């Protein structure tokens, strides 16, 4: 009976030792999953913001009132409210044709039947203790979308 108690005690000790060896790996995997999920959520949000901004830009709303750029930026920024203040940069540019050749015209949403692009860059800051130390302090995430402007007035 004494011999049986000693064997059970050793098995419990071995299980505890195995758990202690695997615990750091499991914590690191959990932190990596959380970090990757948060980064993926941030990237999807940025991409959706760019798509929404480009979709709004293609309608030409606000062109006659002179508020088009402000409305495009406001539409894009409304998607970015859920992100931490990592710093975002929104750029709008257009091309006179339906093809994006060259750099385009910056800070211009273009006219009817022209190509418009809304691009968003977000500086993501890793936050998990274990994984964040292995990553750069800032990871730039980018999203963009291009749309052909609708003919809200005759195309030139």
The answer to pTM > 0.75 is: yes
C-alpha triplet 51, 77, 129: angle, nearest 5°: 95
Total domains present in the chain: 1
pLDDT value of position 131: 87
Tokens describing residue 13: 């000790």
Residue 133 CA to residue 40 CA, distance in Å, equals: 18
Domain presence at residue 154: no
Tokens describing residue 103: 């750099």
Asked whether 40 and 141 are in contact (CB, 8 A), the reply is no
Domain presence at residue 112: yes
pLDDT value of position 5: 58
Domain presence at residue 20: yes
Domain of residue 32, residue span: 2-148
pLDDT value of position 156: 76
pLDDT value of position 132: 87
Domain presence at residue 139: yes
Domain presence at residue 144: yes
Mean pLDDT by 10 residues, the chain (156 residues): 60 85 94 95 97 97 94 97 86 94 94 97 92 92 97 88
Domain presence at residue 153: no
Residue 145 CA to residue 149 CA, distance in Å, equals: 12
Residue 82 CA to residue 96 CA, distance in Å, equals: 34
Tokens describing residue 57: 């830009």
Domain presence at residue 16: yes
Domain presence at residue 156: no
For the CA atoms of 18, 23, 29, 30, the dihedral, rounded to the nearest 10 degrees, stands at 140
């Amino acid at each position: 009976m004494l011999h049986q108690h000693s064997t059970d005690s050793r098995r419990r000790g071995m299980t505890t030792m195995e758990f202690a060896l695997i615990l750091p790996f499991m914590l690191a995997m959990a932190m990596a999953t959380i970090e990757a999920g948060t980064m993926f959520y941030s990237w999807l949000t940025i991409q959706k913001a760019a798509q929404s901004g480009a979709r709004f830009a293609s309608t030409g709303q606000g062109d006659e009132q002179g508020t088009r750029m402000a409305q495009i930026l406001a539409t894009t920024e409304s998607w970015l409210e859920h992100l931490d203040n990592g710093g975002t940069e929104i750029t709008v540019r257009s091309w006179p044709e339906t093809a994006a050749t060259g750099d385009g015209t910056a800070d211009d949403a273009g006219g009817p039947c022209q190509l418009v692009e809304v691009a968003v860059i977000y500086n993501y800051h890793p936050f998990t203790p274990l994984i964040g130390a292995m990553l750069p302090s800032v990871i730039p995430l980018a999203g963009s979308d291009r749309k052909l402007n609708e003919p809200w007035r005759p195309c030139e």
